[in-house]
Amino acid sequence: MGKKIYIKTEEEIELIRKSDLLVSKTLSLMGEMLKPGISGRALDKKAEELIRDNGGIPSFKGYQGFPAALCISVNDAVVHGIPSKVEIKNGDIVSIDCGVFMNGFHGDAAYTFAVGDVDEETMDLLRATNKSLYLGIEQAIAGKRVGDIGYAIQKYTEKTLGYGVVRELVGHGVGKDLHEDPEVPNFGKRGRGPVLKEGMTIAIEPMVNMGTKRVRVLRDGWTIVTRDRKPSAHYEHSVVIRKKKAELLSNHEIVEESIKNNVNIKQL
């Protein structure tokens, strides 16, 4: 990552929005396909087809050697799970992270799906993590600072509810590069960090663990899992900073629409 924070023109923002729309359509397709018995690899194959058929390139494939289009992280996997032949089971939570590169710009978003009979304790974690994403987005206004976002997420999930906020992985600027400055941690202090300016595009992505905040990397070199093997949730939006309210560039509504129509997925 460089030191420079790029302010995007309206034309560039529209291109990022297009990439994010394809990301969102891909996540929506995952919401249609997910069911017990399907493998991560089958999901990844369809996702890559949709992305390429629409003129995009999967941002993650080949990124630092990552082998797939999607990160699929199940249950105690936080992020960066590699799609495999292992079948999704009834009661699993499945975090799917997707990036698309198109017209020179990346889009990036993620959603955690509850497959079948997920217990209420885990559903509460999903609801809280999803809510914290929007609490973070509320703070993403021109003139505020990056620390205001992290503070809002951490205060709700960790201080109020007692969950663990992952420290090792953070949100980020997004644009010509998948990961640009600034880093956008899901923890922090109010009034600290870089000032948010109109036209900055950032990915906000709380990663929240039911138990300990501590994580480790599996032997595959990618998958981040919780140290206590308790579940973890992850929701991500790309947004553009505006004067009064951040504007969403990715779209979870179409993802939630497909969940509504899929009896195999529990709504939040």
- C-alpha to C-alpha distance for 173 and 185, rounded to whole angstroms: 11
| Residue 110 binds Mg ion, judged by CB under 5 A | yes
Nearer to Mg ion, 165 or 264 (CB): 165
| Residue 20 binds Mg ion, judged by CB under 5 A | no
Among the residue ranges 6-14, 96-104, 185-193, 248-256, the one whose residues contact Mg ion (CB under 5 A): 96-104
Q: Pick the closest to residue 218 from 73, 87, 113 (CA basis).
A: 73
For residue 173, give the H/E element and its range: strand 171-173
| Binders of Mg ion in range 130-169 (CB under 5 A) | none
DSSP annotation of 83 reads P
Return the residue matching tokens 């969940």. Answer: 259
Q: Pick the closest to residue 231 from 81, 68, 36, 63 (CA basis).
A: 81
Q: What stretches of 53-128 adopt beta strand conformation (E)?
A: 57-58, 70-74, 77-79, 93-102, 105-115
- C-alpha to C-alpha distance for 152 and 137, rounded to whole angstroms: 9
| Residue 47 binds Mg ion, judged by CB under 5 A | no
CB of 116 to Mg ion, least distance (A): 25
Nearer to Mg ion, 72 or 264 (CB): 72
CB of 132 to Mg ion, least distance (A): 15
| Binders of Mg ion in range 162-221 (CB under 5 A) | 203
**According to CB under 5 A, which one of 20, 44, 92, 97 is a site residue for Mg ion?**
97
| Residue 108 binds Mg ion, judged by CB under 5 A | yes
| Residue 79 binds Mg ion, judged by CB under 5 A | no
Where do contacts with Mg ion occur on this chain (CB under 5 A)? Answer: 97, 108, 110, 203, 236
